[in-house]
Amino acid sequence: MRILKDLEKFLKTKGVEAYLVGGCVRDLILGIKINDIDVALKDNLEVAREYADLNKGSFFLMHEDVARVILDDITIDFCKMKGKSIEEDLKKRDFTINSIAKDIKGDKYIDVVGGIKDIENKIIRVSYKDAFLDDPLRMLRAFRLKAKLNFNIEDETLQLIKQNFQRINDVSGERIIDEIFKILDGKSYDILKELDSTGLLCEIFPVFKRMKLIGKCKYHVVDSFTHSMLSLKTFEDMMDEVLKTKHKDSIKKHLDENLSGVKRRTVLKLATLLHDIGKPKAYKKEGEKITFKGHDVTGYEEFQSINKRYNFSKEQKNLIESVIKGHMRILGLFKTGATERALYRLIRDFKDNTLDVILASLFDVTATRLLLDENGERERYFEFCMDLIDRLYEKNKLPKKLISGEDVIKLTGKKGRFVGEVLEALNEEIFLGNIKTREEALEFIKNMKKGLK
């Protein structure tokens, strides 16, 4: 890796005591791609600024002990050593596999906690007993590393997580959701199942505790939490099939979009996991009949408290809310028929998230029908959703406006909400193919004006 060699050469010329540490050393030993580099310095963080200036990178002083340099897509963190020596520093890092240093003066590895052996044995083990007390986020990081490296969490470390899972509440929401997104970025179903077995998942999303108590009804043979997990599993199992369909390239491009530093696909996975969070509040039992009518509405309300804790970006929040509010609507269209007018209103309401709503509904219904299929409905629903996506891409976007709000004001003499209502009615007619030119649009407005008299 060129940047790594250049960095080591630069640090040697500066004559500072410096070591490569953390995940980059682990990945170097494993022979996998390195995206982030950690450097431990005895002192003198100014070398970080010099390195950034020399390579035309961006420099950030994170706080008095950490400076960050960004070169292209590589992040380099320069940190002051914790303790009097590199050995002391390594003993206080999170996991043994991340507690190995490489002296920049040579190829010598410094390993005081058995990290190299744990890498060879594919084991995730805390470097010291109080690792989770010092930073409870490390409990989540253990599962993220398990997902990334396909390692096993050592039994004593797993027990420490089970003993301390409630301490995750001491961590900021932003840090927690960052780790959750990193877990969801890969195959995550089995990881989340194990995460749930420790108590951590329900501590992060308390509504899951209530979802485990309800959900079985005429349409579901499992509780709501299990169904939501199976919907996520279906997402991961079916995505390859979806990406073999007619619009595979457009769908992939859409799912690869960046939503505030996180792939849209990853945010959609979380939305799929959360799609039924409104069911506990919507639960009703009348005799032997159990219903969850309106769980899309109560789900939207429930999500507001989750968002308050985790502070999602506007884009991420909109996508998750769209899936919660819209997943039942797709099933409704399947039952009643998806007219052109219904498709227009779906796109109008969910805009750029329309495809996500369709896909989440596909995984939701498929997860249900895998356990309780009736007359091949699973296959029919797949074909319905693919047809809906085909029609979505035919329309592509909401129709191009043929006139402006000013045109409406000039023609009708009215302002305010009326203008928006006219434009909305006009856009719908354009979408349906009933109006194709500016002249026809103006005539439409004139007729609306006449209807007001």
188-193, Cβ contacts within 8 angstroms, sequence gap of 24 or more: 188/147, 188/232, 188/236, 188/269, 189/229, 189/232, 189/233, 189/236, 191/143, 191/146, 191/147, 192/229, 192/232, 192/273, 193/229
Q: With a cut of 80, say whether residue 273 has pLDDT above it.
A: yes
By the 10 Å C-beta count (0-12 exposed, 13-18 middle, 19+ buried), 37 is classed as: buried
| β-pairing verdict for 36-41 and 58-63 | unpaired
Indicate the fold that domain 122-204 takes in CATH: Hydrophobic Seed Protein (1.10.110)
What does the pLDDT read at residue 262? 96
Element spanning 413, H or E: none
| pLDDT tens-digit map of 53-102 | 999 999 999 888 999 999 988 999 999 998 899 999 999 999 999 999 99
Q: With a cut of 90, say whether residue 434 has pLDDT above it.
A: no
State how far the Cα of 168 lies from the Cα of 179, in Å rounded to an integer.
12
Q: Tokens representing 218?
A: 């005429």
What mean pLDDT is predicted for residues 105-119? 93
| pLDDT tens-digit map of 124-162 | 999 999 999 999 999 999 999 999 999 999 999 999 999
DSSP 126-192: BSSTTHHHH-THHHHHHHHHHHHH--EE-HHHHHHHHHHGGGGGGS-HHHHHHHHHHHHTS--HHHH
Q: Tokens representing 269?
A: 């996975």
DSSP, res 205: S
Q: With a cut of 80, say whether residue 217 has pLDDT above it.
A: no
Q: Tokens representing 98?
A: 């991340």
pTM for the full predicted model: 0.89
CATH number of the domain located at residue range(s) 1-121 in this protein: 3.30.460.10
What does the pLDDT read at residue 408? 82
Please identify which residue in the block is written with the tokens 């040579």.
106
State how far the Cα of 389 lies from the Cα of 395, in Å rounded to an integer.
10
What does the pLDDT read at residue 426? 85
What does the mean pLDDT of the chain come to? 92
| pLDDT tens-digit map of 349-402 | 999 999 999 999 999 999 998 887 667 889 999 999 999 999 999 877 555 678
273: nearest Cα among 307, 235, 223: 235
Exposure string over 51-77, b if 16+ CB within 10 A, otherwise e: bbeeeebeeeeeeeeebbbebeebbbb
| pLDDT tens-digit map of 300-359 | 999 999 999 999 999 999 999 999 999 999 999 999 999 999 999 999 999 999 999 999
Q: With a cut of 70, say whether residue 170 has pLDDT above it.
A: yes
DSSP, res 288: T
Element spanning 238, H or E: helix 224-242
Q: Which of 157-166, 297-306, 421-430 has the lowest mean pLDDT?
A: 421-430
What mean pLDDT is predicted for residues 226-243? 97
Q: Where are the domains of the chain?
A: 1-121, 122-204, 215-395, 405-452
| pLDDT tens-digit map of 178-191 | 999 999 999 999 99
DSSP, res 301: H
Q: Which of 99-108, 143-152, 226-235, 435-444 has the lowest mean pLDDT?
A: 435-444
Are 380 and 396 in contact by the 8 Å Cβ rule? The answer is no
427: nearest Cα among 408, 413, 414: 408
Q: What Cα–Cα distance (Å) separates residue 224 from each residue in 86, 154, 192, 211?
A: 49, 31, 15, 5
What does the pLDDT read at residue 219? 67
What does the pLDDT read at residue 429? 83
What does the pLDDT read at residue 259? 96
By the 10 Å C-beta count (0-12 exposed, 13-18 middle, 19+ buried), 40 is classed as: buried
Q: With a cut of 70, say whether residue 452 has pLDDT above it.
A: no
